[in-house]
Structure formats: structure tokens, C-alpha cells
């Protein structure tokens, strides 16, 4: 049996701990990216929602718009976040994206 001094044992433990922490940080970052991707995919409007959002954009009555935002503002924001991201990646307008969703092109 080999004699191992305390410094070697502590050095090995430090390395193991460092590797474990690095792996944990990597796992947390990966999980965070996956959750962000799932949120983005979930926010993509379906055909009926796209039709409703097109009507929402075209609304001129601020009171009705405000009431809709009170009732479902978080959902509207989530959909427009996805739409705006898509627009920035594909250089198009919100209306174009919504029409593409309605027509089944996206």
C-alpha cells in the first residue's frame, strides 16, 4: 500500500470538488437555456391567436385594448416577444408574421 500524504489527499479533493462544481454550473446553464427555448416555443401563437392578435394590432379603441391587456396582458406580451424575435431574425413586420402563421407558412 502506498503512503499518501495529506497535501496530496487535499489536492485531489480540491480537484474533484472543482470538477463537480464546474459540471453543476454547466448543467444549470444548459437547463436555463432549455427553459428559455421552451418558453419561446410556447409563446408562438397558433392560428386563432394570430387572428386575434392581428385584430388587437388594428384596434383603434384604446379602452378595449386596455381592457384586453388587463385580462390577458401577460399572454399578449409573451406572444409579441416571440413575434418581435422572429421579426428581428427574419426582417419582417408583426402583421406579416401573423399572416404567415394564419396561412400555415410558419
Ordered alpha helix ranges (H), 43-93: 47-58, 62-90
**What is the chain's mean pLDDT, rounded?**
84
The reported pTM is: 0.56
Q: For residue 104, name the pLDDT band (cuts at 50, 70, 90).
A: very high
Structural domain that includes position 32: 1-42
Name which residue leads in pLDDT, 47 or 6: 47
Residues 1 and 25 in one domain: yes
The tally of domains found in the chain comes to 2
Residue of 55, 56, 92, 51 whose CA lies nearest to 73: 56
φ/ψ bin of 91: left (φ > 0), alpha (ψ from -120 to 50), beta (otherwise)? left
pLDDT in tens, 21-59: 888 887 777 777 766 665 655 678 889 899 999 988 888
User: 64 versus 4: which is more confidently predicted?
Assistant: 64
**Both 17 and 53 in a single domain?**
no
38 lies in the same domain as 52: no
Same structural domain, 18 and 69: no
| 106 and 63 both lie in a single domain | yes
Co-location of 35 and 75 in the same domain: no
One domain for residues 14 and 63 = no
Amino acid at each position: 500500500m502506498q503512503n499518501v500524504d495529506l497535501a496530496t489527499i487535499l489536492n485531489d479533493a480540491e480537484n474533484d470538488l472543482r470538477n463537480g462544481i464546474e459540471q453543476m454550473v454547466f448543467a444549470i446553464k444548459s437547463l436555463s437555456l432549455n427553459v428559455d427555448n421552451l418558453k419561446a416555443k410556447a409563446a408562438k401563437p397558433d392560428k386563432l391567436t394570430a387572428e386575434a392578435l392581428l385584430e388587437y394590432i388594428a384596434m383603434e379603441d384604446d379602452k378595449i385594448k386596455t381592457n384586453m391587456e388587463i385580462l390577458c396582458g401577460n399572454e399578449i406580451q409573451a406572444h409579441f416577444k416571440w413575434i418581435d424575435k422572429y421579426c428581428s431574425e427574419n426582417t419582417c413586420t408583426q402583421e406579416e408574421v401573423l399572416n404567415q402563421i394564419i396561412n400555415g407558412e410558419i
